[in-house]
């Protein structure tokens, strides 16, 4: 076929897509009205997760599963915006990995609210200034973000979704020559320590609360640079000096979406809890056996000091299954008999 005929075919396909998108938006508006009448939340993490999974399974074309998710995330975002504008708080400023995770989860249409700290994200959602918050919880190479765990001990908010973001770091600044200072988040320095020691010796590493704050500092002086995602270069008028400088090619970070309520079952869910165990021999074993006895798979267990009494710990546990599942409920009932307290932080769809 010649070029004109191919372009004509694309124009015809695009017109059909446009017509279907508008039909979809009208259905989304109708659903929004029904939800409002029933006093239901406009955003349904479990529904969107199931929908994306179904579309990926149906896909037999040239698009990858990642392509399908990128396209339909934005369709979902734009259709959702026809009925409501979500307010999303995230650890800012603009350009942080948490900002990218928020966009990946919700698309580009919500109103994104940068927050100065993880505590500030929790506060904005608690006060109703934001519908949802996005906070980091763990990195695949550097482990837990302890401040987020600690906030769950002080907050009544729930986890309603999670997002997994592949992490790639870049050295950003004006020029590689003459760099004396590098700014970044402490976890980012840890994820790039080998590259830094080999490529930039005798530089001063200065920790910042976020990679975006690091970019703001680097912009002030030509002898300074920062480490973060490439998007920071465009946002803050800097240059990408070196790309993919992370030590591990399999570096990813898990983010939690927090809200006043968790999510109904999607069919593929996780539940997160925090518990405090009794001070006796075999107590932790009994906690773990509470899950094993009902065939429930634990995906993570993390301990944090209570800060109230020396050598007293809280345990954060993630496991497969929804809190409304019969076996999960039996396991939690057994667990409550072994612990001082058990608090369910939320059930939510598994992240991709």
Classify domain 171-242 by CATH number.
3.40.190.10
Same fold, 87-167+252-259 and 171-242: yes
Q: Residue 174 corresponds to which tokens in the numbers above?
A: 């004006």
- Which of the residues 97, 106, 112, 255 is marked catalytic? 255
pLDDT of 311 above 80: no
Per-residue pLDDT, 350:
92
For the segment 171-214, what is each residue's pLDDT rounded down to a tens digit? Answer: 999 887 888 999 998 889 988 989 988 888 788 999 998 888 89
For the segment 78-109, what is each residue's pLDDT rounded down to a tens digit? Answer: 999 988 889 999 988 888 889 999 999 999 99
pLDDT of 309 above 70: no
Q: Residue 280 corresponds to which tokens in the numbers above?
A: 């006796």
Residue 98 annotated as catalytic = no
Residue 255 annotated as catalytic = yes
Residue position matching structure tokens 């612990």: 339
Strands (DSSP E) contained in the chain are 87-91, 111-115, 132-139, 143-144, 158-166, 170-173, 181-184, 204-207, 224-228, 239-242, 252-259, 269-277, 298-305, 313-320, 339-349
Please state, for a pLDDT cut of 90, what percent of the chain lies above it.
59
For residues 85 and 61, the answer to whether their CB atoms sit within 8 Å is no
Task: Please give the model's pTM, rounded to 2 decimal places.
Answer: 0.88
Classify each residue of 6-17 as buried b or exposed e, where b means 16 or more C-beta atoms within 10 Å of its C-beta: eeeeeeeeeeee
pLDDT of 130 above 80: yes
CA 87 to CA 129: how far, in whole Å? 8
CA 211 to CA 105: how far, in whole Å? 20
What average pLDDT does the structure give for the chain?
90
Sequence spans of domains, the chain: 87-167+252-259, 171-242, 269-349
CATH class of 269-349: alpha beta
- Which of the residues 97, 253, 271, 316 is marked catalytic? 253
For residues 88 and 134, the answer to whether their CB atoms sit within 8 Å is yes
What's the fold here for domain 87-167+252-259? D-Maltodextrin-Binding Protein; domain 2 (3.40.190)
Band of pLDDT at residue 35, cut at 50, 70 and 90: confident
Average pLDDT (289-306) is 88
Band of pLDDT at residue 148, cut at 50, 70 and 90: very high
Bridge-based pairing of strands 269-277 and 87-91 is unpaired
Per-residue pLDDT, 45:
93
């Amino acid at each position: 076929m010649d070029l004109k005929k191919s372009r004509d075919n694309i124009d015809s396909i695009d017109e059909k897509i446009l017509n279907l998108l508008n039909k979809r938006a009208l259905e989304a508006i109708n659903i929004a009205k029904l939800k409002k009448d029933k006093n239901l939340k406009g955003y349904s993490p479990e529904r969107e997760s199931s929908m994306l999974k179904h579309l990926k399974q149906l896909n037999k074309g040239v698009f990858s599963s990642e392509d399908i998710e990128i396209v339909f995330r934005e369709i979902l975002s734009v259709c959702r915006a026809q009925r409501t504008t979500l307010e999303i708080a995230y650890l800012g400023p603009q350009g942080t990995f948490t900002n990218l995770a928020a966009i990946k989860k919700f698309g580009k249409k919500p109103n994104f609210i940068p927050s100065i700290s993880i505590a500030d994200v929790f506060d904005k959602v608690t006060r109703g200034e934001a519908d949802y918050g996005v906070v980091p919880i763990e990195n695949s190479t550097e482990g837990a973000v302890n401040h987020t765990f600690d906030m769950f001990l002080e907050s009544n908010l729930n986890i309603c979704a999670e997002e997994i973001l592949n992490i790639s770091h870049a050295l950003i600044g004006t020029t590689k020559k003459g760099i004396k200072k590098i700014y970044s988040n402490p976890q980012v320095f840890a994820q790039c320590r080998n590259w830094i020691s080999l490529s930039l010796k005798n530089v001063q590493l200065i920790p910042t609360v976020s990679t975006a704050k690091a970019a703001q500092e680097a912009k002030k002086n030509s002898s300074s640079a920062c480490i973060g995602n490439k998007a920071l270069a465009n946002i803050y008028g800097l240059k990408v000096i070196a790309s993919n400088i992370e030590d591990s090619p399999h570096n990813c970070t898990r983010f939690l979406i927090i809200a006043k309520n968790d999510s109904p079952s999607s069919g593929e869910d996780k539940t997160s809890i925090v518990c405090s165990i009794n001070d006796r021999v075999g107590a932790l074993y009994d906690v773990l056996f509470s899950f094993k006895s009902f065939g429930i798979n634990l995906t993570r267990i993390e301990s944090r000091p209570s800060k109230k009494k020396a050598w007293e710990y809280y345990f954060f546990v993630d496991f497969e299954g929804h809190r409304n599942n019969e076996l999960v409920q039996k396991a939690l009932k057994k667990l409550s008999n072994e612990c001082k307290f058990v608090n369910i932080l939320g059930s939510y769809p598994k992240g991709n």
